[in-house]
Amino acid sequence: MKRVLIFSLTYHPYVGGAELAIEEITGRLARGRATTEGIDPVEFHFDVITLRFNRALPRIEDKGNVTIHRIGFATDAPEISDRSMPFRCKVSKILFPFTSFFKALSLNRRYHYDLIWAMMANQAGFGALFFKLMHSHIPYMLELQDGNTLAQVRARQPLLRFVWPLYKKIYLNADMIKVISSSIKDLAREIGYDGPVVIIPNAVDTKKFSGPIPEKALLFLKEALDKQAGDVFLFTASRLVLSRGVEDVIRALPSLPANVKFVIAGEGEDREKLRMIARNMGVLERVRFLGHIEHNSLPIYFKVSDIFVRPSVIEGFGSAFVEAFAAGIPVIATPVGGIPDFLQDGVTGLFCEVRNPESVARVARRYLDNPALVAKVVANAKALVMEKYDWNIIARDMKERVFDPLIKV
């Protein structure tokens, strides 16, 4: 059995696109494959080193052939966004390059890893780099999912300039870089990496998001959300930060009919700013802030909604877009980051302009006024996601294009 060590700053139950990718891919590759002769032996075991944050979480958790090792200081039910994170957790985050490195040394003495997988060029990337420098014979794969440019990374983290040559080594020392979009591949080349770069996108559990939901459950949620006959729900699932364009949708509402409401699933440090914008625009009663919704519960929210809209300023990929594809509702997005890799304007969705609420409203009205357009883009998007963006396909690609070339048999 091949053993893979993953460095990830956050992990389940703190699930974003990167954490979801780890969970979906490892879960599939850690299971034996069904064949005509029975079940193939399990090929992989994954160990994930991540921060604990919440002291209610176990330090070690086994999920079949995936073992989660949680380290660092923890507190009770913490917020983990940068602006509201408790001091103890911030210290753990700062120290993660070193604590994860020493944890990896300890685990490697026991398991002798075949591959290192760093999720993102952040503190997790530093931990993986330190381990790679001590164990140069073990292949090291860096995964990039952040849609920020290098200039934006340096602007957001000014202290990086003091360790920039070391930071670059997170990229340059990788035996392979895996990215989720073509735009992020350009970033890897920009920093000077000349090794193999593999593009494998994030995806969706198509069976879960496209499957039927009992009519009784749909009616119950519509009542809970006070969806009246004739109401149109714009929906987004997003961390509540201003880079996701939620405020632009709120500002678009006065230009849309009164029966158009905006339903927001997610939490984040800018929630109160967004409520204030809605209040100032006079549309607070048309905006539903649902708070955090567990990922497994999202399919029903897509099903009771009419249009998915996320006019992002920055986006590495955006798993929620392909989840909307699978769920069968039309999408409004911006042509930024990795979104143009899967969204073709007028074919699988519609583009609006960045930071332009009137553009959001104009594009939403195109859907409202043209049911034939809605039917076309929904059909095209669902066909695309079934063909290219199912997690089973992505897990297979990870094995064949990343793990097999890197791990020596």
Q: How many helices (H) and strands (E) does the chain have?
A: 16, 16
pLDDT per residue over 214-226, tens digit each? Answer: 999 999 999 999 9
Q: What percent of the chain has pLDDT over 70?
A: 97
Nearest-angstrom CA–CA distance, 43 and 30: 7
Sign of CA dihedral 14, 20, 21, 25: positive
Nearest-angstrom CA–CA distance, 41 and 299: 33
Tokens found for residue 53: 């944050």
Is pLDDT at 409 greater than 70 in this prediction? Answer: no
pLDDT at res. 31: 64
For residues 66 and 27, the answer to whether their CB atoms sit within 8 Å is yes
Residue 201: C-alpha distances to residues 102, 145, 214, 315, 388 (Å): 31, 9, 31, 13, 9
What is the arithmetic mean of pLDDT over 284-294? 95
* Order of all β-strands in the sheet with 307-310: 287-291, 260-265, 232-237, 307-310, 331-333, 350-351
Nearest-angstrom CA–CA distance, 267 and 249: 16
pLDDT at res. 152: 81
Residue found under tokens 């990343």: 402
Nearest-angstrom CA–CA distance, 91 and 86: 9
pLDDT at res. 150: 82
Residue 20: C-alpha distances to residues 14, 31, 175 (Å): 9, 17, 24
pLDDT per residue over 48-61, tens digit each? Answer: 999 999 999 999 99
pLDDT per residue over 15-40, tens digit each? Answer: 788 999 999 999 998 765 544 343 34
For residues 306 and 329, the answer to whether their CB atoms sit within 8 Å is yes
Q: Comparing 71-85, 258-272, 282-296, which segment has the lowest mean pLDDT? A: 71-85
What is the amino acid identity at position 324? Answer: A
pLDDT at res. 84: 78
pLDDT at res. 1: 86
Q: How confident is the model at residue 42 (pLDDT cuts 50, 70, 90)?
A: low
Tokens found for residue 177: 């870089």
Look up residue 32 and give its DSSP letter: P
What is the amino acid identity at position 319? Answer: S
pLDDT at res. 30: 74
Phi-psi region of 30 (alpha: psi -120 to 50; beta: other; left: phi over 0): alpha
For residues 131 and 44, the answer to whether their CB atoms sit within 8 Å is no
User: What is the CA angle 400-404-185, rounded to 5?
Assistant: 65
Give the CA dihedral 327, 332, 334, 339, nearest 10 degrees: 20
Strands 232-237 and 197-199, sheet pairing: unpaired
For residues 147 and 338, the answer to whether their CB atoms sit within 8 Å is yes
pLDDT per residue over 97-115, tens digit each? Answer: 999 999 999 999 999 999 9
- Do you find a cis peptide bond into 13, omega within 30 degrees of 0? yes
- For the chain, the distance separating the N- and C-terminal CA atoms, rounded to the nearest angstrom, is 10
Nearest-angstrom CA–CA distance, 354 and 336: 8
Is pLDDT at 263 greater than 80 in this prediction? Answer: yes
| DSSP β-bridge partners for residue 151 | none
Instruction: Identify the structural domains of the chain with CATH numbers, from first to last.
Output: 2-203+390-406 (3.40.50.2000), 206-388 (3.40.50.2000)
User: What is the CA angle 265-267-270, rounded to 5?
Assistant: 120
Nearest-angstrom CA–CA distance, 313 and 163: 28
Name the CA radius of gyration of the chain, rounded: 22
